[in-house]
């Protein structure tokens, strides 16, 4: 299986300086197969929609060619497109959302109005129709096929959504008290009962800021899982589940220190290369 890296230098979902600069740095360290040219439109929403449509088409085409798409960001609004593209080939798609934020606000619940806080909600069919119907006019992911992993910075409306639909999740506190191994195993067991096709969306802000300072929006308490825990989770999910597409998002070189966050992205890519190339 060939791995194809798709660069997506988007910042319009979060408006943080440097959110769009990570692809330039990463392209000096790895061979990015395709970089989506971000076109600007009159509104943030239209900018995200039009460019996510392009991304969805590239992800879909990559899978049609039998390859494994890894979308590199860029802010997390890109997942609306990458999940939509993967869903077209995988009707019963599951999602692991490895992130300090649930990203499950909508235009009606958000405080910031930043679209990178919408993508998981939109993928589950909640919020603006322009987002929920992107690429295909249907829900991309059943909420029963979702696991939120390492969430910590949770808005009240997001918690209400999680509780209302009983969305499977493991908080930072769960990981700290039950252990990373337990939470990984439970995630794998849960999803194996639901589907055999998973999209893994890895936001590096799930990691504590001491280990990973170069992110767009750290959680409000500068807290998170350890670097080693995040990489262990990614490795085991890739080894033990059928991960059909993946994101690595929110890397910001302008806030990085000593290339700590860059090296986490590169370490993640090494894990992908070892496992996916070994699956040929």
Whole-number pLDDT of residue 1: 83
Whole-number pLDDT of residue 219: 86
| Cross-strand pairs, 35 | 7
Residue 164 three-state SS:
helix
Q: One digit per residue, pLDDT tens: the chain, 280 residues?
A: 899 999 999 999 999 999 999 999 999 999 999 999 999 999 999 999 999 999 999 999 999 999 999 999 999 999 999 999 999 999 999 999 999 999 999 999 999 999 999 999 999 999 999 999 999 999 999 999 999 999 999 999 999 999 999 999 999 999 999 999 999 999 999 999 999 999 999 999 999 999 999 999 998 888 999 999 999 999 999 999 999 999 999 999 999 999 999 999 999 999 999 999 866 5
**Which sequence positions are flagged as catalytic?**
76, 99, 101, 103, 116, 203, 205, 250
* Residue 277 exposure: Cα atoms within 13 Å on the Cβ side: 8
Classify residue 164 by burial, with Cβ atoms within 10 Å: 0-12, 13-18, 19+: exposed
Indicate the domain borders of the chain: 3-277
Whole-number pLDDT of residue 280: 52
CATH top-level class for 3-277?
A: alpha beta
Whole-number pLDDT of residue 237: 98
Whole-number pLDDT of residue 277: 81
Is the model's pTM score more than 0.95?
yes
What is the secondary structure of 175-202 as a DSSP string?
A: HHHH-HHHHHHHHHHHHHTT-S-EEEEE
């Amino acid at each position: 299986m060939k791995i194809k890296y798709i660069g997506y230098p988007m910042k319009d979902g979060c408006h943080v300086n440097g959110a769009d600069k990570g692809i330039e740095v990463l392209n000096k360290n790895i061979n990015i197969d395709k970089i989506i040219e971000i076109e600007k439109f009159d509104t943030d929403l239209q900018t995200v929609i039009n460019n996510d449509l392009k991304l969805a088409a590239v992800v879909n085409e990559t899978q049609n060619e039998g390859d494994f798409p890894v979308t590199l960001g860029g802010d997390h609004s890109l997942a609306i497109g990458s999940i939509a593209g993967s869903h077209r080939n995988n009707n019963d798609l599951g999602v692991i959302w490895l992130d300090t934020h649930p990203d499950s606000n909508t235009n009606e619940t958000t405080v910031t109005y930043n679209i990178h806080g919408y993508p998981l909600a939109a993928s589950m069919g909640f919020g603006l129709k322009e987002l929920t119907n992107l690429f295909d006019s249907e829900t991309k992911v059943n909420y029963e096929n979702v696991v939120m992993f390492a969430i910590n910075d949770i808005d009240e409306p997001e918690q209400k959504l999680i509780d209302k639909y009983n969305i499977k999740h493991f908080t930072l506190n769960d990981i700290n008290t039950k252990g990373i191994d337990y939470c990984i195993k439970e995630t794998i067991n849960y999803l194996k009962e639901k589907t055999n096709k998973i999209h893994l969306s890895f936001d590096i802000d799930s990691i504590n800021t001491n280990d990973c300072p170069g992110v767009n929006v750290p959680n409000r308490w500068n807290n998170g899982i350890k670097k080693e825990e995040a990489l262990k989770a990614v490795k085991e999910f890739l080894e033990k589940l059928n991960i059909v597409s993946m994101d690595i998002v929110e890397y910001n070189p302008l806030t990085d220190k000593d290339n700590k966050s860059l090296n986490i992205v590169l370490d993640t890519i090494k894990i992908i290369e070892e496992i996916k190339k070994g699956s040929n």
